[in-house]
Structure 1
Amino acid sequence: MAIVLPSYKEETEMLESSLRVLASHKLARTSYHIFLAMEERDPNATTVAQILMQLFTGKFREMQWTVHPADLPGEAPGKSSNVSWAAKQVERKYLNNPDWSSVLVSVMDSDTHLLSQYFETVLAYHIRNRKGDGTTDMTLYMPPIVFDRNASEVPQLVRIADLMWSGAGLSCFTTKPTASTVAIPTAVYTVPLALVCLARGWDTGSEAIGEDMHMMLKCYFATHGRMKIRPIASPASQCNVTTGKGGVRGWLADHSARYAQGLRHMWGCLDTGNALRQWCKISSNVEVQDQSSPASEASSAGCELERPRHVEICLRLSQHTLHGPKLHRFTWRNLVLFSRLFEAHFLPVHLCLVLSASTIYSALPYPIVSCPSLAAAMTLTSYLRVVGYAFMTMYFVIFYEGYHRACIEARASEMKKAGLYEELAGEFSYRRRLSFITMMDYVLFPVSGTVFGSAPLLQAIVSHFWTDKLVYLVSAKPIKATPIGLEEHAAKIIDV
């Protein structure tokens, strides 16, 4: 299990906390190979990596760090290009391994806390899929997310935005996926290394800023829609964006930071155009040699090296992928895929513009609104919007609140067994289902959704008329001191 942990100017305490949780897992010493993906643009990258390497010596099966060079031609700064560079090291590491195709690659954000259950379940499914018919596993594994660490310490609109983000992802989650299941990973996902190579790795250009979705789409179309998506019922714990500043300036800074994160997320609407281009290439007569030699392209994760084993495995995967029933563009699963893209990249701004336009139109004086059928249609749709909002609120009150509590209780139970509960005692943000604050969260859904969803998406869409490049800003996360003497370790490394 290769675990890639990308970092750019992240606080050492944040990375250490995530690694301590990983180190507490049963499989850590026998199965986890940690790749700290650092950036050359970060002046403290080497020092931070060395500190973490010393702190976690012997805690994992293996641990190493990579430094993604700055200003490589054709690359855009960001998570995807960093992961792409680290993935090259993963391939080099396991190229000559006799069981190369069994390697799994997990990518996770630096602030993520995962339960051991996630990796154990992924491994069980992976082994089952490989033994099923003797073919290489073509499955993307992903957990739902939950913001349960510092939600009670951030401004309400920021908390609501992440609450809606988590709930939206959970809405397409299913414990019994079918052949038409399509879900979009967020922050954490796992793919077999053979599938990574078939998809030619992670893209490094500005079009890949929505790294999680972009890689899912690459794998989806590399397998011509036959990739399986397996949600794993083991949530990934996340932190809300916060600058850590106090007072009015801190309150404004937190909202500004969350908007910047929302803009980065919505900048990923470039993936809708990419998906349309890839969809148009689908043909009912696909030749195997189209993807039998991924080593011939050098646009992504390590495919510029000559590696016979790599080509052999990808060829076998291609044959399994491309031989079978004829492929068609107009399938139910493709329709589900584009419905997910519509929900992510169109619906937020579409709803906002429709509401604004209908409100303005209804306020206009006679005789502009004298058409009876139009007036009836606008009245009906206004009722439908109220009903939709009511059902969404019921979904959160009945289902999400129970989900949130179950996530916290599961994480607290595992941290107690691992002896980390006292250290993380302040990182459990409980919610009361019918409290006044919770009810106000639901009342303010439209406000937060507009500020951190519709507005940044509209800005991204308009900006794409001129450019597809965005300055990648790391989301501000809370900093918590740990009992280990980080300053002492840093001083020792500097002295050396």
Structure 2
Amino acid sequence: MAIIVPSYKEEIDILETTLRVLASHRHAKACYDVFLAMEARDPNGVAVATSLIDLFKHKFRDLQFTLHPNGIEGEAPGKSSNVSWAAKAVEKKYVNQPDWTDVLITVMDSDTHLLSQYFELIFQNHLRTRGEIGLSDVTFYMPPIVFDRNASRVPRLVRMADLMWCGAGLSCFNGRARRDAVAIPTAVYTISLSLACLVGGWDTGSEAIGEDLHMLLKCYFATGGHLRTISIPSPASQCNVSTGKSGIRGWAANHQARYSQGLRHMWGSLDTGFAVRQWFQLSQRRDSGSKSPFGRESSLPSHVLLRLKLGQHSVHQGEVKRYTWRNAVVFTRLFEAHFLPNHLFLVLLASALYSSLIHPDNQWQILSYALDMTSYMRAAGFALMTIYFVIFYEKYHQVCISAREHEMRRAGLYEEMEDDFSHRKRWTLTAIVDYFIFPISGTIFGSIPLFQAIVSHFWTEKLVYLVSAKPVKADKVREQWKDGV
């Protein structure tokens, strides 16, 4: 298992915690090959990576760092170009080994905490899939996410924005593997090295700013729509955006940081155009046989090319269709992510403006009836969404907290991380107020950033990539960790 942890100007405490959690897994020393993907633009990148390697070098099968150069022509600074550089190092290290098709690549954010169960379930699914398909494991593995670490210490609007983000991911989670299912990854996912080679690796341009969704779409269309997406029932623990500042200025800074993160997320609406282009090219792929659609075959060894071509042939089975139910599901997911938040905001705004006008006679009665009906539908939708979160999400949050507490106790890390468990209680005033501000939080951190991104795309597709602000451990805890490693 190759694990890529991209980092740019991240606090060393964040990375220490992530590696300590990974090192607590029972198969870490035998199976985990960790790549710290650092940036040359980060003046402390090499020093941080070297320090972490000294601390954890005996905890994993291998631990190294890659240094993504600055200023490569055609590349845009960001997570995708950094991961692409690290993935090339993974490919160079493993692609000539006899069992290279069994190498799995996990990409995870620097603040993500994963349970050992996540990797164990992936290994099981991978072996089963290899037995079914043969030469290629064209599967995209991903966990749901949960913001369960510092949610009680961030402003309410920020907390609810992330909770809605988590709920959106859960909406496409599949308890059972279905061939027509398409789930959207968030922050963490795993693919096989052979699939990464088949699609030509990670894109590095500004259109790939939504790195996780972009890679899913790239793999999906490169395999002619035959990519399997499997949701792994082992949630990834995430931190809410937090600047660490206190008082009024800290409150404002946290909201500003969350808006910047929302704008970066919504800038990924560029992926809708990417998906449309790839969809139109599907018929061309059908006629091109087993040739890779992304043109990186010539850089791979001949025996690797043979395996990939045979694997791609077994996956495609001569059928690459443009009009399928799965393609409709993919574009439905894109509509939910990149159109629906803005559509809802504009409909509400237009309805409010129209309702404030004096209606001219009876010629607009049908429009009035339509607006009244849709307002009732929106109210019903909000009520159902609230019920969903109160009944299902609250239980999900509790289960996630319990599972992580159990594993941290088993690993002897619970006392050090006791403050990193943000519990929620269903029937409290705090929870009730949270749900009532759903529309406000969704508009500020969803609809408005999406509207800004879409309008900005008329002029440019480039956005300055800002790393999300994360909470930092106290120095005394950091020293305890160093002594205990």
TM-score normalised over the length of structure 1 = 0.94
Residues 198 and 373 (structure 1 numbering): CA distance in 2 closer, same or farther, change over 3 Å?
same
Q: One-letter code of the match for 1:322?
A: H
Q: One-letter code of the match for 2:222?
A: A
Q: By how many angstroms is 1:172 displaced?
A: 0.6
Preserved contact between residue 148 and residue 429 of structure 1 (Cα < 8 Å): yes
2:134 aligned partner: 134
Deviations 1:129-169 (A, max 9, x none): 11224232110000000000000000000000000000010
Question: Does the alignment pair 1:433 with 2:457?
Answer: no
Match of 1:340 among 330, 333, 337: 333
What is the DSSP-based 3-state SS (H/G/I as helix, E as strand, rest coil) of the residue aligned with 1:122? Answer: helix
Cα separation, 1, equivalents of 2:324 and 2:293:
27
1:319 aligned partner: 313
Preserved contact between residue 198 and residue 317 of structure 1 (Cα < 8 Å): no
1:67 aligned partner: 67
Cα separation, 1, equivalents of 2:212 and 2:365:
47
Deviations 1:297-348 (A, max 9, x none): 3xxxxx6634223212211222112224x32211110001000000000000
2:450 aligned partner: 457
Q: One-letter code of the match for 1:45?
A: G
Q: By how many angstroms is 1:396 displaced?
A: 0.2
Q: By how many angstroms is 1:485 displaced?
A: 3.6
Deviations 1:3-46 (A, max 9, x none): 00000000000000000000000110110000000000000000
Q: One-letter code of the match for 2:402?
A: E
Deviations 1:223-265 (A, max 9, x none): 0100000000000000000100011000000000000000000
Cα separation, 1, equivalents of 2:57 and 2:233:
30
Residue identity over aligned pairs, in percent, reads: 59
Question: Does the alignment pair 1:307 with 2:293?
Answer: no
What is the DSSP-based 3-state SS (H/G/I as helix, E as strand, rest coil) of the residue aligned with 2:225? Answer: coil
What is the DSSP-based 3-state SS (H/G/I as helix, E as strand, rest coil) of the residue aligned with 1:424? Answer: helix
1:208 aligned partner: 208
Preserved contact between residue 224 and residue 321 of structure 2 (Cα < 8 Å): no
2:34 aligned partner: 34
Preserved contact between residue 149 and residue 239 of structure 1 (Cα < 8 Å): yes
Residues 92 and 369 (structure 1 numbering): CA distance in 2 closer, same or farther, change over 3 Å?
farther
2:57 aligned partner: 57
Preserved contact between residue 140 and residue 229 of structure 1 (Cα < 8 Å): yes
Cα separation, 2, equivalents of 1:286 and 1:334:
15
Deviations 1:188-242 (A, max 9, x none): 0000010011111100000000000000000000101000000000000000001
Preserved contact between residue 369 and residue 375 of structure 1 (Cα < 8 Å): no
Q: By how many angstroms is 1:444 displaced?
A: 0.2
Cα separation, 1, equivalents of 2:285 and 2:8:
44
Superposition pairs of residues 244-263 of structure 1, within 5 angstroms: 244-263=244-263
Cα separation, 1, equivalents of 2:347 and 2:280:
30
Unaligned ranges ≥5, structure 2: none
What is the DSSP-based 3-state SS (H/G/I as helix, E as strand, rest coil) of the residue aligned with 2:417? Answer: coil
Unaligned ranges ≥5, structure 1: 298-302, 490-496
Deviations 1:173-200 (A, max 9, x none): 0111211101110000000010011111
Deviations 1:355-395 (A, max 9, x none): 00011101101317752222111111111110000000000
2:82 aligned partner: 82
Preserved contact between residue 362 and residue 369 of structure 1 (Cα < 8 Å): no
Cα separation, 2, equivalents of 1:70 and 1:448:
36
Cα separation, 2, equivalents of 1:386 and 1:152:
28
Q: One-letter code of the match for 1:312?
A: L
Cα separation, 2, equivalents of 1:457 and 1:336:
21
2:180 aligned partner: 180
Q: One-letter code of the match for 1:448?
A: S
What is the DSSP-based 3-state SS (H/G/I as helix, E as strand, rest coil) of the residue aligned with 2:282? Answer: coil
Q: One-letter code of the match for 1:4?
A: I
Deviations 1:38-85 (A, max 9, x none): 000000000000010000021000111000000100000000000000
Cα separation, 2, equivalents of 1:407 and 1:336:
28
1:360 aligned partner: 353
Q: By how many angstroms is 1:289 displaced?
A: 4.3
Cα separation, 2, equivalents of 1:178 and 1:135:
21
Cα separation, 2, equivalents of 1:164 and 1:488:
36
Q: One-letter code of the match for 1:394?
A: I
2:388 aligned partner: 395
Question: Does the alignment pair 1:421 with 2:427?
Answer: no
TM-score normalised over the length of structure 2 = 0.97
1:112 aligned partner: 112
Cα separation, 2, equivalents of 1:292 and 1:13:
41
Q: One-letter code of the match for 1:321?
A: V
Q: One-letter code of the match for 2:161?
A: A
Cα separation, 1, equivalents of 2:25 and 2:187:
19
Preserved contact between residue 5 and residue 34 of structure 1 (Cα < 8 Å): yes
Work out the number of aligned pairs and report it: 482
1:448 aligned partner: 441
Q: One-letter code of the match for 2:116?
A: S
What is the DSSP-based 3-state SS (H/G/I as helix, E as strand, rest coil) of the residue aligned with 1:76? Answer: coil
What is the DSSP-based 3-state SS (H/G/I as helix, E as strand, rest coil) of the residue aligned with 1:191? Answer: strand
Cα separation, 1, equivalents of 2:292 and 2:436:
54
2:192 aligned partner: 192
Residues 322 and 40 (structure 1 numbering): CA distance in 2 closer, same or farther, change over 3 Å?
same
Residues 353 and 133 (structure 1 numbering): CA distance in 2 closer, same or farther, change over 3 Å?
closer
Mean Cα displacement is larger for which, 16-25 or 128-137? 128-137
Cα separation, 2, equivalents of 1:54 and 1:186:
30
Cα separation, 2, equivalents of 1:448 and 1:272:
24
Cα separation, 2, equivalents of 1:263 and 1:402:
30
Preserved contact between residue 133 and residue 314 of structure 2 (Cα < 8 Å): no
Preserved contact between residue 287 and residue 322 of structure 1 (Cα < 8 Å): no
**Runs of at least 4 residues of structure 1 off by over 6 A?**
486-489
Preserved contact between residue 292 and residue 311 of structure 1 (Cα < 8 Å): no
Q: One-letter code of the match for 1:310?
A: V
Residues 292 and 359 (structure 1 numbering): CA distance in 2 closer, same or farther, change over 3 Å?
closer
What is the DSSP-based 3-state SS (H/G/I as helix, E as strand, rest coil) of the residue aligned with 1:423? Answer: helix
Preserved contact between residue 18 and residue 111 of structure 1 (Cα < 8 Å): yes
Preserved contact between residue 80 and residue 211 of structure 2 (Cα < 8 Å): yes
1:371 aligned partner: 364
